[in-house]
């Protein structure tokens, strides 16, 4: 039985905690969950910095190994708990695996206008009705352009089978879908199909209902 502990955002607003929790559940890994409030209290922050280099969440603790940064965590999990004992969360094909990594890196470093106009709270909680800003609209157009290249009407993964990058990409697309913005039907279907996965439904179950 793996000795896994995850320090998570107690507000349930972090897309990167979402990423790691989905990865853990897709791998069928039991873990202890420790939700913590931000700002992180100084003693715990110092503990995280001492063991994991960075005082951030998510932080995964596996035995005496501590790790931050969501993609580093999911890749560590994918390599440590690999097939056939566990499901695959990164594509087996090296080209598809590289593409998944590209998509995850892009999602973490771009679309700031869209993320500002359609924050994660509007996906996990109360939707917003304000129009997209010029920068938000430009970002949305770029997200949909890339989605159009990766997703066909009958395809529910950016690879030949589901991978953890699909959870991240769906979250970005749900910034539009959940807030009623215009999205091509097959791309909205892709996002909603990800949202129906048990691992994602489990995460959403932790979020208090919007008032």
69 with 101, same domain?
Answer: no
113 with 156, same domain?
Answer: yes
pLDDT tens track for 147-186: 999 999 988 899 999 999 999 999 999 999 999 999 999 9
23 with 99, same domain?
Answer: no
179 with 114, same domain?
Answer: yes
**Residue 58 to residue 98: CA distance in whole angstroms:** 23
37 with 68, same domain?
Answer: yes
Domain tally for the chain? Answer: 2
Angle, helices 15-26 vs 164-177, to 10°: value is: 140
pLDDT, mean of residues 106-120: 97
115 with 45, same domain?
Answer: no
47 with 78, same domain?
Answer: yes
**How high is the mean pLDDT of the chain?**
96
Residue 1 has pLDDT above 70, yes or no: no
Containing structural domain, residue 34: 4-88
**CB within 8 A of 192, min separation 6: which ones?**
177
pLDDT, mean of residues 180-207: 97
62 within a domain of the structure (yes/no) = yes
Residue 145 has pLDDT above 80, yes or no: yes
Question: Distance between alpha carbon 103 and the CA centroid of its chain, in Å?
Answer: 12
106 with 180, same domain?
Answer: yes
Here the CATH number for the domain that contains residue 16 is 3.40.30.10
Q: Which of 87-91, 153-157, 162-166, 207-211 has the lowest mean pLDDT?
A: 207-211
Tell me which of 56, 88, 120 is where a domain ends.
Answer: 88
| Whole-number pLDDT of residue 154 | 84
Tell me which of 30, 60, 88 is where a domain ends.
Answer: 88
CB-based burial label for 90 (10 Å; 0-12, 13-18, 19+): buried
Residue 128 has pLDDT above 80, yes or no: yes
| Whole-number pLDDT of residue 112 | 98
């Amino acid at each position: 039985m793996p000795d896994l502990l995850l320090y998570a955002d107690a507000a349930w607003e972090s897309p990167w905690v979402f990423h790691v929790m989905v990865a853990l559940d897709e791998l069928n890994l039991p873990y202890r969950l420790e939700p913590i409030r931000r700002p992180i209290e100084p003693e715990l922050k110092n503990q995280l910095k001492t063991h994991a280099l960075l005082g951030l969440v998510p932080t995964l603790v596996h035995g005496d190994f501590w790790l931050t940064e969501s993609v580093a965590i999911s890749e560590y999990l994918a390599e440590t708990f690999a097939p056939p004992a566990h499901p695959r969360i990164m594509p087996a094909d090296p080209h598809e695996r590289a593409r998944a990594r590209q998509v995850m890196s892009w999602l973490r470093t771009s679309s700031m206008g869209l993320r500002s106009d359609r924050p994660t709270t509007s996906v996990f909680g109360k939707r917003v009705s304000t129009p997209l800003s010029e920068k938000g609209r430009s970002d949305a157009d770029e997200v949909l352009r890339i989605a159009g290249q990766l997703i066909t009407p009958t395809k529910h993964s950016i690879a030949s089978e589901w991978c953890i990058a699909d959870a991240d990409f769906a979250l970005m697309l749900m910034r539009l879908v959940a807030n009623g913005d215009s999205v091509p039907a097959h791309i909205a279907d892709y996002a909603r199909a990800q949202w129906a996965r048990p691992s994602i439904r489990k995460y959403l179950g932790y979020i208090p209902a919007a008032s």
